[in-house]
Amino acid sequence: MKLYFSPGSCSLSPHIVSRELGIELTLDKVDISTKKVADGSDFLAVNPKGYVPALKLDNGEVLTEGPAIVQYLADSKPDAKLAPPNGTLERYRLQEMLGYINSELHKAYGPLFNPKTSPEMKKDREDYLHQRYGLIDKKLAGRSYLFGEQFTVADAYLFTVTNWSNYVKLDLSAFPNLLAFQERVAARPAVVAAMVAEGLRQAPAK
């Protein structure tokens, strides 16, 4: 399988999940601004939506949208328990959280990356994110991950999106449980490997 990615973007989430599962993916870097793949080909021919992630399956089909991709990967190796079994309430809770991260956190960061965003709009989005992160911080109280001690695909997504706070200078100091979560996930070997592969951090000293 091939993962079309852009370093540090939301495609980091399925990249992390693949490494957690021990699934070797071919990585193909995409320039989102030009819609070109590293070899110069047209990314729009792969994903007409024009954004990553996109996962090209072994049968040639292309799966898009991060929450769908991470569940597909998790279901390929159910014993790893990165997603609860389909049809269970726990699985719907996972999907509920993926939807929350996608709509309430992920999308709210967009204007903060845009240099044309007005100071008023930036403040509005920062306040909105603080409100939404408040709920996450409460959920993380007394637990290592979103659903307890088991790392799931939702944790990979939350870590990826929240890591953007470092780039847009969003102050998250009011959320100690969230910050502890970020440090905990950042130390996972699969996360380290994914971030090194994308050039987001240096390889740890041996």
Quick one: 75 and 101 in the same domain? Answer: no
Task: Answer yes or no: is 10 within a domain.
Answer: yes
Residues in the chain: 206
Instruction: Provide the residue type at 141 as one letter.
Output: A
Q: Do residue 93 and residue 135 come from a single domain?
A: yes
State which H helix or E strand residue 119 sits in. Answer: helix 119-139
How do residues 100-137 score in pLDDT, each as one tens digit? Answer: 999 999 999 999 999 999 999 999 999 999 999 999 99
Query: Are 101 and 177 in a shared domain?
Result: yes
H or E element at residue 158: helix 153-162
On whether residue 206 sits in a domain, the answer given is: no
∠ CA(55), CA(28), CA(68), 5° rounding?
20
Distance CA 118, CA 28 (A): 34
- Do residues 27 and 70 share a domain? yes
- Asked if 38 and 108 sit in the same domain, the reply is no
If DSSP codes are grouped into helix, strand and coil, which group holds residue 126? Answer: helix
Q: Are residues 71 and 95 in the same domain?
A: no
Range of the domain at 141: 89-188
Q: For residue 35, what is the domain's CATH number? A: 3.40.30.10
pLDDT tens sequence across 181-202 = 999 999 999 999 999 999 999 9
Domain shared by 114 and 177, yes or no: yes
Q: How many CA atoms lie within 13 A of 193 on its CB side?
A: 15
Give the pLDDT confidence of 75-104 residue by residue, as tens digits.
Answer: 999 999 999 999 999 999 999 999 999 999
Q: Is 29 helix (H, G, I), strand (E, B) or coil?
A: strand
The pLDDT score that the predictor gives to residue 203 is 85
The position carrying tokens 């637990």 is 143
CATH classification of the domain holding 170: 1.20.1050.10
Going by C-alpha positions, the residue among 206, 202, 195, 201 that lies closest to residue 11 is 195
Q: Into how many domains does the chain fold?
A: 2
Binned at pLDDT 50, 70 and 90, residue 31 comes out as very high
* Residue 141 and residue 174 in one domain: yes
DSSP state of 25: -
Same domain, 75 and 93: no
The residue behind tokens 């000293």 is 205
The reply to whether 202 falls in a domain is: no
Q: Based on the fold, state whether residues 57 and 98 are members of the same structural domain.
A: no
- Find out whether 63 and 54 touch, Cβ atoms under 8 Å: yes
Do 75 and 94 belong to one domain?
Answer: no
Could you tell me how many helices (H) and strands (E) the chain has, helices first?
9, 5
Q: Note the pTM of the prediction, 2 decimals.
A: 0.97
Same domain for 108 and 168?
A: yes
Residue 165 is predicted with a pLDDT of 98
